[in-house]
Structure 1
Amino acid sequence: MRRSAPFRVSAALIVAACGLLAAPSAQARAWHPTTHGRVAGAPGTRVDPGERQAAFAEAAGEYGVPESVLLGVSYLQSRWDANAGLPSNSAGFGPMHLTDAAALAAESAGRATGHHDGEEDPRGDESRPGPARKTVPEPPAEVPAPLRTLERAAELTGASRQALRTDPAVNIRGGAALLADHQRRLGAPLGGDPAEWYGAVARYSGAAEAEAAGVFADEVYAVIREGAERVTDDGQKVTLKAVPGLKKVVRRLERLGLRPPRRDGAECPVTVSCEWIPAPYADLGEGDYGNHDLSDRPRNQKVEYIVIHDMEGYFQPSVNLVLDPARPASWHYSLRSADGHIAQHIRTEDVGWHAGNWYVNAKAIGLEHEGFLGRGGAWYTEAMYRASARLVRYLALRHGVPLDRAHVIGHDNVPGTLPGTVRGMHEDPGPYWDWARYFELLGRPLHGRGGPDAGSVMILPDYDAHRPYYSGCDPAAPQAACPPHGSSSVWLRTEPREDAPLVRDIGKHPSGESLYSVYDHSARAATGQRYAVAERRGDWTAIWYLGQKAWFHNPADRPTAVPARGPVVTPRTGLATVPVYGRAYPEPAAYPEGVPVQAITPLQYTFSAGEKYALGLAARGEYYRAVTFDASQHVVVRGELRYYQIQFGHRVMFVRADDVVVSAS
């Protein structure tokens, strides 16, 4: 979602208008890690694959930190990745996620734009337009200490901030120095049993809440007990040997001076840190109110979707925004990057204004994650991925939401409601969100089903190795290439060759071409999405996408998609085309007296005979009439008209069931 961010540090991380971006050269279009290098400190750098492991051992010995503790903390922050010396979505650098938001704030002063300053109406319901509300930027906030740990690491080690940002070994030394400093301040000895470092690990999280600090430490110690091994983003093999005999850690967080938990009945699993910070439901006068709608889900409506957003900002300033009833935007949960702490703002029985489509909002739970989709080299912490996955598993079980990409969707997968709203719909969480890792943590790993001639495919590139070209990550140079980085999306072209143009999205670009901008998903398919196969030719696969054949590179030795099975739909015999819709509203006869009929308006796309699209879910027409502060006047209208949700482009859309035939792929 886009909204005003009072914290100035976010300003440099909002991309400039897509229309300013030019198409890249053929060389840029063929961007691949084999030609551009996998980076530790700089692109093209060749490093010893055991160097990272040695750096952990050396730093642990130098500062008296048990090596397993140092490795465990780093894993929960970055999974030991260097991320090319680029900042995370919460201003953290390197394997130890040392934060330097103060420096980013200085770089970005005066370039603020707002998360909700775009065209999209978060509520997405033209039946209640409401008065225009002017967004007034808030004054910049002081950068909190948890976002300035790199500064402290520089003091402790004598290393430069630049070295701590860009040199993984120096960064690891900085993290070890911080852990040792926390241990000393707690009056505990260095070295010794890893279990005696629980308090220092909890403090490393930077959390102000005892529960958040404790959950972070619990996760670190779970990793230490289980062990881990992986090859990092820059080719480093790192191993944390399991310590199964680690004695049980007893929390003594009262010594840390942290505030007690404030769960207050928050709807969260016990395995996460969660508090209740309610969004206001307030009467603003003259028929206007904010900033969400009361409901009674699931009794009056079934929750069908869990929508993944990024904040385009930092945690606390974004939480502050949802506390303003005059801002026409709200969501159910906010998630903090450094430690995975969760704040709930709206009961899941109520409806948030977050997805820009009222039909989806009425049937969705919205999760906002600290971060920025367009930041150069954007990455999210393992701690936040884990907390988010645990929350989504819990919500899916409570509300009966299937854990697949038809129901767990990004904001960028939500369709426009009408032809005029398609262009302004938002694009988060974007191509840097690791959907494959997320579904692993959800306990539903993505994998292929069927043989090489399957009638549909699931997009599934190797996130770390797949590094397509993007532009627009630097607002000061919007035409420049983004730094090489793992991605969950593939580019779609008009022909099976690297220099072919991107396919067009007539809704997003009515009179122009698709862009290579990190903010433009017009010609992209994302991990976990299933598409019907239109053709195969050598190393290229074509899928049906927005009424056209769309080709992506899918070589057998480096596949970017896997065979998939599932139902597909095609126009029934006798229909040359069928309309597609952005919402599944009931037929006119279903509306009771006093409830205005909502038009069933097709979008601008064409679904023609011979094309096939993957079916995600079936639904009957439904409309939640909620235009008054008095919730007793709200009405759920249900009809007999049946719809199918299909993967029509990057976004899902709807077709009438009577217009299509369902078959197996």
Structure 2
Amino acid sequence: MVLRLMLSVVLAAAAPLVPADPAPTAVFGAAAARYDVPRDLLLSVGYAQSRLDQTASGQVGAHGIMQLTDAATLPSAAALTGLPQRELRTGLAANVSGAAAVLRSYADAEGLSAVARSDVNRWFGAVARFSGAADPAVARLFADTVFAQLASGFAAGPFDVPGRPVAPDRGKLAAVPAWGSGDVGIMSADYGPAVWAPADPGNYTVSNRTTSYPVNYVVIHMTQGSYAGSISWFQNPASNVSAHYIFRSSDGAVTQAVREKDIAYHAGNWDYNTRSIGIEHEGFVDNPAWFTDAMYRASAALTRNLTTKYGIPRDRAHIIGHREVPGATHTDPGPNWNWTYYMQLVNGVTGTGSGTVDTASTNLNVRGGPGTGFAVVGTVADGAAVTVWCQAAGTTVTGTFGTSNVWNRIGTGRWVSDTYVRTGYNGFIPGVPRC
């Protein structure tokens, strides 16, 4: 293993240094070619880590588009590439190149030949190790996420990776149950949909809050990192942090890390910690791509459950953001969190609408917000079926069904004018939340 790692260092040292910061699409191609890592695999790791956002400011000690960590991947990347850590933290090309070098070193450690490296399915073990998770189940969760993204395809900014068949070779991790099944499928005793994955005992205080402390608040957080990374961080005895629940962005899956009766270390204020349930949501405060309808709705269902169980009023005085905790130094859940939408869901306004696009033949532009002043982010075909998650007033438009200022959100950051969607209603749909 040492010989292989030394060989990786020699290969890196012999290669030319990474250019300043070329176009993002070129960065991944160059790093993939230099270290013989499949390009789309490298992109999928970055998508799982940051939604391919170099400005992502992660959990303590995680940096850039690939979320290189001070504790593991960053020093390894520096040794393998010869680049200074400060450049690896902040430079796009350096950050991606560093991650590619580390992934290649892990593939070398597993004995992958050049032929094996050409098969994306053989990289599962290297990707799992890149997660930095000490728990094999969490490492597998991260790698499963990366390969599931390859299977489904994903898009972010200039990147559009189409889906393809995958059959990952999980190696020794094949014996580790998938998240939500087998031994890892022990479900929460507090909330049925949640998988139970306890935080390190040093990261919370055992209590009995049915008799010791009243639960008066639900505190909403953003993880500033990935779902698997956050579960792993709560299991790390050095972190000294935890929350009761963590939600995944893509589908609203939920893991519980601390029992509701116990005191999680999430609010940065002991008094509020003793009297609240902390809920983390996968993502970064500055990137609305993480704020999916699936996550909002799953989180709101838990908050409805908690408010019923503990008699917490369903209002903004008792369902608060981390930034609203007295003395808080954090800004989460940030300006992209839609409190209007979330509180309607918590209070039972949970309907969705269905409709059919009707433009009389042409594609319909999809906007990044509720109005013609927002950028076009895609199109939907005439006759396409859409789900309306929520609605808002915006620019007045005249279309197939008259003139209206109602806009329908049909996905995260995706809006169309209601005047081009046949929903069975003229304007706002009863039971569908307002955005």
Q: Structure 2-normalised TM-score?
A: 0.53
User: Which secondary structure state, in structure 1, belongs to the residue aligned with residue 75 of structure 2?
Assistant: helix
Following superposition, the deviation at residue 154 of structure 1 comes to: 1.9
Q: Identify if the C-alpha distance between structure 1 residues 201 and 303 changes in structure 2 by more than 3 Å, giving closer, same or farther.
A: farther
Supply the AA of the counterpart residue of 1:176: A
Q: Paired residue for 2:47, among 54, 75, 78?
A: 75
Question: Which residue of 2 is the match for residue 274 of structure 1?
Answer: 197
Q: Paired residue for 1:225, among 135, 138, 151?
A: 151
Q: Identify if the C-alpha distance between structure 1 residues 249 and 272 changes in structure 2 by more than 3 Å, giving closer, same or farther.
A: farther
CA contact (8 A) 1:305 1:360 kept: no
Q: Do residues 429 (structure 1) and 330 (structure 2) align?
A: yes
Q: Paired residue for 1:173, among 73, 83, 97?
A: 97
Q: Paired residue for 2:160, among 237, 240, 251?
A: 240
Q: Do residues 294 (structure 1) and 213 (structure 2) align?
A: no
Supply the AA of the counterpart residue of 1:195: N
Question: Which residue of 1 is the match for residue 350 of structure 2?
Answer: none
CA distance in 1, matches of 2:46, 2:203: 38
Q: Identify if the C-alpha distance between structure 1 residues 217 and 266 changes in structure 2 by more than 3 Å, giving closer, same or farther.
A: same
Q: Paired residue for 1:332, among 244, 247, 257?
A: 244
1:559-601, CA deviations, whole angstroms, 9 ceiling, x for partnerless residues?
Answer: xxxxxxxxxxxxxxxxxxxxxxxxxxxxxxxxxxxxxxxxxxx
Question: Residues 352-501 of structure 1 correspond to what in structure 2 (within 5 A)?
Answer: 362=275, 364-367=276-279, 392=299, 395-396=302-303, 398-399=305-306, 408-414=319-325, 425-430=326-331, 433=334, 435-436=336-337
Following superposition, the deviation at residue 434 of structure 1 comes to: 6.0
User: Aligned residues: percent identity?
Assistant: 29
1:27-61, CA deviations, whole angstroms, 9 ceiling, x for partnerless residues?
Answer: xxxxxxxxxxxxxxxxxx9x77xx10111112112
Query: Structure 2: which 5+ runs fail to align?
Result: 1-19, 225-229, 346-367, 371-435
Q: Identify if the C-alpha distance between structure 1 residues 93 and 352 changes in structure 2 by more than 3 Å, giving closer, same or farther.
A: closer
Following superposition, the deviation at residue 200 of structure 1 comes to: 1.5
Following superposition, the deviation at residue 410 of structure 1 comes to: 1.3
CA contact (8 A) 1:65 1:180 kept: yes
User: Which secondary structure state, in structure 2, belongs to the residue aligned with residue 348 of structure 1?
Assistant: coil
Question: Residues 66-145 of structure 1 correspond to what in structure 2 (within 5 A)?
Answer: 66-83=38-55, 88-100=58-70
Q: Paired residue for 2:218, among 294, 305, 316?
A: 305
Q: Identify if the C-alpha distance between structure 1 residues 391 and 95 changes in structure 2 by more than 3 Å, giving closer, same or farther.
A: same
Relative contact order, CA 8 A, sep 6+: which one is greater?
Answer: 1
CA contact (8 A) 1:214 1:253 kept: no
Question: Which residue of 1 is the match for residue 432 of structure 2?
Answer: none
Question: Residues 172-211 of structure 1 correspond to what in structure 2 (within 5 A)?
Answer: 172-190=96-114, 191-211=117-137
RMSD, aligned CA: 5.6
CA contact (8 A) 2:50 2:67 kept: yes
Q: Identify if the C-alpha distance between structure 1 residues 148 and 295 changes in structure 2 by more than 3 Å, giving closer, same or farther.
A: same
User: Which secondary structure state, in structure 2, belongs to the residue aligned with residue 295 of structure 1?
Assistant: coil
Q: Identify if the C-alpha distance between structure 1 residues 98 and 354 changes in structure 2 by more than 3 Å, giving closer, same or farther.
A: closer
Q: Identify if the C-alpha distance between structure 1 residues 305 and 226 changes in structure 2 by more than 3 Å, giving closer, same or farther.
A: same
Q: Identify if the C-alpha distance between structure 1 residues 438 and 164 changes in structure 2 by more than 3 Å, giving closer, same or farther.
A: farther
Q: Identify if the C-alpha distance between structure 1 residues 279 and 88 changes in structure 2 by more than 3 Å, giving closer, same or farther.
A: closer
CA distance in 2, matches of 1:71, 1:442: 35
CA contact (8 A) 1:335 1:370 kept: yes
CA contact (8 A) 2:307 2:314 kept: no
Question: Which residue of 1 is the match for residue 424 of structure 2?
Answer: none
User: Which secondary structure state, in structure 1, belongs to the residue aligned with residue 198 of structure 2?
Assistant: strand
Following superposition, the deviation at residue 211 of structure 1 comes to: 1.3
CA contact (8 A) 2:32 2:100 kept: yes
CA distance in 2, matches of 1:189, 1:382: 37
User: Which secondary structure state, in structure 2, belongs to the residue aligned with residue 172 of structure 1?
Assistant: helix
More helix by share: 2
Supply the AA of the counterpart residue of 1:225: A
CA distance in 1, matches of 2:196, 2:287: 18
Q: Identify if the C-alpha distance between structure 1 residues 443 and 170 changes in structure 2 by more than 3 Å, giving closer, same or farther.
A: farther
Supply the AA of the counterpart residue of 1:92: A
CA distance in 2, matches of 1:302, 1:215: 32
Structure 1 or 2, whichever has the larger Rg, is 1
CA contact (8 A) 2:196 2:257 kept: no
Following superposition, the deviation at residue 228 of structure 1 comes to: 2.4
1:353-408, CA deviations, whole angstroms, 9 ceiling, x for partnerless residues?
Answer: 8666979965x42246999xxxxx99799999999879836734754779996775
CA contact (8 A) 1:385 1:438 kept: no
CA contact (8 A) 1:386 1:441 kept: no
Q: Identify if the C-alpha distance between structure 1 residues 219 and 279 changes in structure 2 by more than 3 Å, giving closer, same or farther.
A: same
Q: Identify if the C-alpha distance between structure 1 residues 217 and 81 changes in structure 2 by more than 3 Å, giving closer, same or farther.
A: same
Supply the AA of the counterpart residue of 1:64: D
Q: Identify if the C-alpha distance between structure 1 residues 266 and 182 changes in structure 2 by more than 3 Å, giving closer, same or farther.
A: farther
Following superposition, the deviation at residue 207 of structure 1 comes to: 0.6
Q: Identify if the C-alpha distance between structure 1 residues 305 and 212 changes in structure 2 by more than 3 Å, giving closer, same or farther.
A: same
Following superposition, the deviation at residue 98 of structure 1 comes to: 1.4
Following superposition, the deviation at residue 168 of structure 1 comes to: 0.9
Q: Identify if the C-alpha distance between structure 1 residues 276 and 316 changes in structure 2 by more than 3 Å, giving closer, same or farther.
A: closer
Following superposition, the deviation at residue 202 of structure 1 comes to: 1.1
Following superposition, the deviation at residue 177 of structure 1 comes to: 1.4
Question: Which residue of 2 is the match for residue 491 of structure 1?
Answer: none
Query: Structure 1: which 5+ runs fail to align?
Result: 1-44, 101-146, 232-236, 282-289, 323-329, 372-376, 415-424, 445-459, 463-665
Following superposition, the deviation at residue 72 of structure 1 comes to: 0.4
Q: Identify if the C-alpha distance between structure 1 residues 74 and 273 changes in structure 2 by more than 3 Å, giving closer, same or farther.
A: farther
Q: Do residues 249 (structure 1) and 219 (structure 2) align?
A: no
Following superposition, the deviation at residue 167 of structure 1 comes to: 2.0
CA contact (8 A) 2:246 2:279 kept: yes
Question: Which residue of 2 is the match for residue 153 of structure 1?
Answer: 77
Supply the AA of the counterpart residue of 1:156: L
Q: Structure 1-normalised TM-score?
A: 0.36
CA contact (8 A) 2:186 2:195 kept: no
Supply the AA of the counterpart residue of 1:183: A
Supply the AA of the counterpart residue of 1:214: R
Following superposition, the deviation at residue 213 of structure 1 comes to: 0.9
CA distance in 1, matches of 2:84, 2:282: 27
Supply the AA of the counterpart residue of 1:252: G
